[in-house]
Structure formats: structure tokens, C-alpha cells
Amino acid sequence: MNKYKFIISAFLFTFACHSLNAQSHGIIVGTTYGDFKTKIASMSDIKFNKQYSFNFLVGYGYNHSFNNRLELGSSLIYSQQKAVKTSGYGVVGDDPSVNNYNFKTHYLALEEVIKYRITDHIKVGVGAAPTWHMKMTLWDDNEVSPIIDIPLLLQTEVETKYADIRLSYKLGTFNLLKNSIIDSAHHSVISLSLFIPFGVVK
């Protein structure tokens, strides 16, 4: 647990330091649409039906401009992800043996994105989102210890008069689950959010 505390403390310290030179601050609200991308073990005959689900996100963020084209966007996001996977182990006649498996997590993510302005109102960016899965349940009631993941992050941002609209995609790089049935599980999520600035420093 001390290792996790150190990593999270380092993330938060970095976030706080960057905010000192930010040109704009604001709140972030939005929705997510995602799943846990799973790879079935070679010895297992289980098959999953994909079921994506909508969830929410809230957070705080800021932007630091280096020049007219390039800027750093930092966001501290709280969100959750729930997913239900329906499986069949085989078919007897026309009746499959069906089981439902619940996957869910509550997580805190520090999104760091380098953004490039391609027009007056549109920016594209790439970055990473170190994530602390504070409470995670994989495979029904199999609750696991807090997990650190570092998803890759792609983002498109459209500036409007009152808010910035952000479309993001994140794919986890760390394996969150391995057992006799599943070789790997990676968090995958698309989010649509609003960055609503309440402070701008010229």
C-alpha cells in the first residue's frame, strides 16, 4: 500500500505544480462509454458477448499554453466503470448455459495531454492518464487490491464561447486480471466531456 501512496502523491504533486502557471482553470463534467477488453485463456471454452455501458465523470482541470499552437492540458478526474459480460460455456440443444459476470471500478485519473491547435477552435492531443483504481471488482465478487494503470490517451477538443467540448479515448496498458479463464483485461473507455472555465489568467 505504501507504494500506491507514493505513486499517487507524486501524481498529485505534479498536478499541483503545473497548475501554478496555468492560463485557465475549470470544472469538468461528462459521460463515458466503455468496457473491459478481455482475452480468453486458450484452454477455456467460454465466450463473452460484448456489453458496453454509460457512466459518468467529474473533475477539475487547467491548461498551460507554451505558444499559439502548443499547450499542456492537465485534468484530475473521478469516474467509475461498470460492465456486465454474458457468457455461454456450450450449447445443449438450443439452450446455452448462460452466466453474467460483473466488472466495476471506481477510479481517479490524472490526465496529461499535449495539445496542438489545428484551427482557431479545434485542438488535437496525445498523452497518458495515470490511473488509480481505488475500488475494483472483477469477476463478480472478486474484489482486488487498488491497482495502478497508465492508459494511453487521445483527445480532440473544440472550443466554444462558454465551454470546451472534449472527445477522448483511453486504453489501459496494464493487465488488470489473469486467471484460469481470462488471460488479460484492459480498461477501454470513450468519454465526452465539457471543460467549463471559471478563471483565465492572461
pLDDT at 158: 97
Residue 34 confidence (pLDDT): 86
Q: What is the pLDDT of residues 33-50, one digit of tens each?
A: 988 887 777 666 666 666
Amino acid at 45: D
Residue 153 grid coordinates = 490517451
Rg from Cα positions in the chain: 19
Between 161 and 152, name the one with better pLDDT: 152
Q: What percent of the chain has pLDDT over 90?
A: 38
Mean pLDDT of 68-90: 81
| 3 state DSSP class of 109 | strand
pLDDT-derived band at 90, boundaries 50, 70, 90: very low
Do β-strands 152-159 and 147-149 pair in parallel, antiparallel, or remain unpaired? Answer: unpaired
Q: Locate the domains of the chain by residue range.
A: 2-200
Q: What is the pLDDT of residue 49?
A: 63
CB neighbours of 47 closer than 8 A, spacing ≥ 6?
40, 87, 88
Cβ of 42: how many Cβ atoms within 10 Å? 6
Which residue's C-alpha cell is 471488482? 137
Residue of higher predicted confidence among 161 and 170: 170
Task: Please tell me the distance from the alpha carbon of residue 74 to that of residue 118, in angstroms, as a whole number.
Answer: 19
174 bridge partner residues: none
> 4: part of which helix (H) or strand (E)?
helix 2-19
Q: Which fold is adopted by the domain 2-200?
A: Porin (2.40.160)
